[in-house]
Structure 1
Amino acid sequence: MLLPIFCLLAQASAQKQLDWWETTVFYQIYPRSFKDSNGDGIGDLNGITSQLEYLKELGIGATWLSPIFKSPMYDFGYDISDFYAIQDEYGTMEDFGNLLAKAKELDIKIILDFVPNHGSNESVWFEEALKGHEKYYDYFMWEDGVVDENGNLQPPNNWVSVFRKSAWEYREEVGKYYLHQFVIGQPDLNYRNPVVVEEMKNVIRFWLDKGVAGFRVDAINHLFEVDKELFGGKYPDEPRTGDEDPDSYGYVDHIYTRDQDETYDMVYQWRDVLDEYKASDGFTRVMMTEAYASPQLTMRYFGEGDRLGSQMPFNFALISNVNGKSSANEIKYAIDQFLTFKPVDKLANWVAGNHDQSRVASRYSPELVDGMNMIVLLLPGIAVTYMGEEIGMVDGFVSWEDTVDPSGCNTDDPINYVQSSRDPERTPFQWSADKNAGFSTADKTWLPVADGYETLNVEVQRNTDRSHLNVYKSLVQLRGELAFTHGRYESVALNSDVFAFRRWYNGENYVVVVNFREEQFTVDLTYFENVVGDLEVTVSNIQSPKAKGTIVQADRLEIFGSESLVLKVK
């Protein structure tokens, strides 16, 4: 008996102690659409505070809030006019303090959206710049225009905004153009100015002092532009791509306005600020960075050499690389990519939806909601859920008349705008079958509530045994098992339609199987080592005829169309 006891002790001592952010589930809230507390049709901080118990019910340990800062709302908070203040329609600093206090009571961490690339053209900084205030003039990116053959002043070069059309806007007050990589109301900040660098570090410190647990950093790979001094003091044109629409972001290859080397160093500097706080109290503040970039560039955000960076460079493979039409082989390839490229001592992260992307139920299918949640929550690494994915919310229909997203409005196209608009995935959260899905008592909400909310909502699913919500809760609870917190991983496309992966640690051994098609198959799971004999259904999707506790055979598992299963080896 001595040998087994010794082995168990050795295994226990070798078991890595994980930090809070390494095991929790991060839940993204789009504040404008989560819960309205005062009946104005717009979600707010007090609404979030009132529903923190719901997050606790789900098993969520941290919530990331999309921007809540002072803003004219041209891009709904991503155009910040005061980085040190709360937007009035969301509440007050006192409301934010109450939110933090309630979250602390429930042991839920609050993560804020940090939008460092740009400010607002209605900020004091920009207004002072237009008055010729030298300090604030240098906060932004200015350039002389060029005169064409007809004597007309034109933008400095061919740079195009993410939201279409020229990335330059002329201001008569200073006789120059300012750069805006996003909407006109979002002038880019000048990170070659050390005063700006220190200002933005002070923004980080201000909110850390309030008690937030970290930041999700928006559009990080746009932070720096090429140093124009390398081109004789003039920003160069970007090379053409072959796209024939000069207003389209795809018209040029953004080699001078994205993914510049200096960007990574700035992330490392921000990590130093976060770690200053950890050094004083032992509590880790986290950074999540958003960059739609190649795996090679994404990995640089983790850090280089002895410099530390983001703990979570967002992995968008399940958003950008695959969808409901993808084969199981493509799903496996998309998942394996991040695991292959990431440093061995860093954690992967998984996210299938956010406020900029069509919802999982619409991009994959309503039948695959549970299967995708199984993948996001049970793969090795950190899990992120966009609000509503736990109940299978679908994209809402937002008419041209109701469209407010600048990405859709800037198309000037009442027919095809929906292809660019992000409004459908931002429709109000569906709490109940009451008026406006229980989101608001207002006569009109800022975006219309999606059709079908009467049956697709939290209240209905709470009271239904087999519901997306209850499957999600089961998965979050299962995620705490050692096989998922510390376990190894391997995966296989059993055929072109069925994807499976195994998680195991010591004696615990689980297999997750997801059928991406409506066709029924018989599959052999003994491909996986030590997966033989009886397997017990631990979690099944709501369409599955297999209840929890059902015993199936590893070598001849019948998996029905769109069925998803978590199986435990007996």
Structure 2
Amino acid sequence: MRLLTVVAILAAVLGFASATEWWESGNYYQIYPRSFRDSDGDGIGDLNGVTEKLQYLKDIGFTATWLSPIFKSPMVDFGYDIADFYQIHPEYGTMEDFDRMIARAKEVGIKIILDFVPNHSSDQNEWFIKSVNSDPDYKDFYVWHDGKINEETGEREPPSNWNSVFRYSAWEWNDVRQQYYLHQFATAQPDLNYRNPAVVNEMKNVLRFWLSKGVAGFRIDAIPYLFEIDLDRYNQYPDEALSNDTSCPDPDDACYLTHVYVQDQPETVDMIYQWREVVDEYRKEHGGEQRLLMTEAYTSFENMIKFYGDGVRNGSHIPFNFDFLSNINNASTANEYVEHIEKWLNAMPAGVYANWVLGNHDNKRVASRFGVQRIDLINILLQTLPGHAVTYNGEELGMTDVFISWEDTVDPQACNSDPDTYYDRSRDPARSPYQWDASSKAGFTSADHTWLPVSDDYKTNNALQQLRAPHSHLQIFKTLVRLRQEPSFRAGAIKIQALDDDIIVYSRQKEGSDLYIVVLNLGNSDKTIDLTQHFTLGTDAEVITSSLQSQYINGETVKTAAFVANGNVGTVLVAIN
């Protein structure tokens, strides 16, 4: 068992010593607006619903919230197919509602971050319609190609074998233009052409527009897909090689192929740096606080780290750490947890912050992936690691996936499959309405229907019930959020180790401040640990918080030489001098 000491988290690397910006060491909350709160009784969440609940987020202690797309959209992919990047989707409200939300957020002290979806638009976007009709200003706004002639049949076919993320060919024939267009997601989501400077300029203008409306920054969607291989280097777009992934035998699936020509092109990183320059320039011109960039990229670990910057140019403030989300599951050992934590902390460039993302709208819920019995343990881990914590709405309550039948399924990723395989592909189970209280439809809406079904357990698992309870997942979460403001968690070093396959222990301490010890037992059985063998401790420590099913209560004094770590329980202790 190896003791890992990460001292790089001190000011020289992470910059905590001068943490004066609002976003540093932030606690971020993702709202899926369609499912958060419906204010007008149509069964669909909206901006006024978000405005209504901003105080709730402030009371928990969040720094900011980022909203999944709220722009005008035909909702083929529920807002990720944007028909107008400058307008609010009518189901969500009006621009006046947006302005009111921004004003209320300022009053409350919560920053609003928007989801920026730059890779593609809707096929109902005016830009695409003009491109279809070969408008000179928009002709090359998207990725078009004549295709190729099959030598055996003489028929025209797609330029290459590329598959979309949502299955089937990534190329779609357009009868008007008599060409194929590229769509790496749904056919109704044509890819923008980032090799056209006009596209780059237009998307920068989108950022500037919303900055002028008062947003605090952007979460940038689907980064790896921005660029395809440069056609000028080839006469045709090359076919992708087979992935030879034995777990992916269906030739219609994206995973059947490699993606070296359509993902992670070198120009992608430079685009992130350009967008960082836009938000930094906006601050210089208009003053105010730092505007933030978060980036979403399911990509290699090396690419995620590149998004921070290259030592000369700055990139994303928070390149989402999906290494942890993608590689840790309910069967992972304590050593695997520690290895992934160490991996990120040791790879970061100087002057940046770590971040931890354990759930979002594209993955099954944390409580369903790791087990309901571990929800507090996972939240303790998230809130006590150094850097930024990112929470998906409902994880603070321990909400679980909702079974969505094939008939009720609306996610295009699932709808493109079949009744036998759809559920594993579906993102709907994690997008069910937020559970506010025990009233009809969980207090989400006054309507008699909701766009996705409400969980069956909402009467016993909801925000109001957990706020009123003396001990609940939400009360534990609120304690953790407050704890993160302590100097040792904002600016302290971390010393972490796995004691065996089940036990993770680590300390957080800033010189001159309290010493905190975190104990996580991933196993089902209780284990007794002598913490004094691993940390310089006195004989006693105080329990700050612990999982709901723990034997300990907050404020209790325990013996450090014989600490009992309950199964599936996380505990935060503070040393008693």
Q: Which of residues 80, 88, 106 in structure 1 aligns to 2:108? A: 106
Partners of 2:16 and 2:24 within 8 A in 1 = no
Q: Which of residues 119, 132, 135 in structure 2 aligns to 1:133? A: 135
Of structures 1 and 2, the one scoring higher in RCO (CA 8 A, sep 6+) is 2
Say whether 1:443 aligns with 2:448: yes
What amino acid is the match of 2:263? R
Say whether 1:390 aligns with 2:392: no
Q: TM-score, normalised by structure 2?
A: 0.95
Q: Which of residues 157, 167, 174 in structure 2 aligns to 1:154? A: 157
Paired with 1:112 and 1:442, the residues of 2 have a C-alpha distance of 27
What amino acid is the match of 2:228? E
Partner of 2:281: 276
Partner of 1:551: 557
Partner of 2:469: 464
Partner of 2:252: 247
* Range that drifts further, 502-511 or 473-482: 502-511
Partners of 1:171 and 1:177 within 8 A in 2 = yes
Paired with 1:204 and 1:184, the residues of 2 have a C-alpha distance of 25
Count residues in correspondence. Answer: 556
Listed one character per residue, the Cα deviations across residues 417-458 of structure 1 (whole Å, up to 9, x for unaligned) are: 000000000000000111111101112100000121110100
Paired with 1:199 and 1:451, the residues of 2 have a C-alpha distance of 45
Partners of 2:509 and 2:516 within 8 A in 1 = yes
The 5-angstrom pairing of residues 355-374 of structure 1 reads 355-374=361-380
Say whether 1:376 aligns with 2:378: no
Partner of 1:350: 356
Paired with 2:156 and 2:233, the residues of 1 have a C-alpha distance of 24
Paired with 1:517 and 1:153, the residues of 2 have a C-alpha distance of 58
What amino acid is the match of 2:430? E
The 5-angstrom pairing of residues 192-231 of structure 1 reads 192-231=195-234
Partner of 2:31: 29
Paired with 1:391 and 1:318, the residues of 2 have a C-alpha distance of 21
Listed one character per residue, the Cα deviations across residues 276-312 of structure 1 (whole Å, up to 9, x for unaligned) are: 1222314100000001112211111111131111000
Paired with 1:360 and 1:230, the residues of 2 have a C-alpha distance of 44
Partners of 1:319 and 1:357 within 8 A in 2 = no
CA shift for structure 1 position 200: 0.3
Paired with 2:428 and 2:160, the residues of 1 have a C-alpha distance of 31
Listed one character per residue, the Cα deviations across residues 43-63 of structure 1 (whole Å, up to 9, x for unaligned) are: 000000011111011111200
* Range that drifts further, 145-154 or 70-79: 145-154
Partners of 1:295 and 1:341 within 8 A in 2 = no
Partner of 1:301: 307
Partner of 2:168: 165
Q: Which runs of 5+ in 1 are unaligned?
A: 1-12
Say whether 1:175 aligns with 2:178: yes
Paired with 1:38 and 1:377, the residues of 2 have a C-alpha distance of 35
CA shift for structure 1 position 14: 10
Partner of 2:267: 262
SS of equivalent to 2:97 = helix
Partner of 1:190: 193
Paired with 1:373 and 1:424, the residues of 2 have a C-alpha distance of 20
SS of equivalent to 2:23 = helix
Partners of 2:24 and 2:388 within 8 A in 1 = yes
Partners of 2:21 and 2:289 within 8 A in 1 = no
Say whether 1:535 aligns with 2:537: no
Partner of 1:425: 430
What amino acid is the match of 1:551? T
Q: TM-score, normalised by structure 1?
A: 0.96
Partners of 2:22 and 2:289 within 8 A in 1 = no
Partners of 1:502 and 1:528 within 8 A in 2 = no
SS of equivalent to 1:23 = coil
Paired with 1:397 and 1:432, the residues of 2 have a C-alpha distance of 20
Partner of 1:473: 478
What amino acid is the match of 1:399? S
- What is the Cα-based RMSD across aligned positions, in Å? 1.3
Partners of 2:499 and 2:505 within 8 A in 1 = yes
Q: Which of residues 59, 65, 80 in structure 1 aligns to 2:67? A: 65
Paired with 1:50 and 1:407, the residues of 2 have a C-alpha distance of 31
What amino acid is the match of 2:134? G
CA separation of 1:178/1:496 partners in 2, compared to 1, >3 Å: closer, same or farther? same
CA shift for structure 1 position 274: 0.3
Partners of 1:494 and 1:523 within 8 A in 2 = no
Partners of 1:295 and 1:337 within 8 A in 2 = no
Partners of 2:294 and 2:316 within 8 A in 1 = yes
Partner of 1:325: 331
Partner of 2:11: none
Partners of 1:405 and 1:422 within 8 A in 2 = yes
Task: Write out the 4+ residue segments of structure 1 that deviate beyond 3 Å after TM superposition.
Answer: none
Paired with 1:551 and 1:340, the residues of 2 have a C-alpha distance of 34
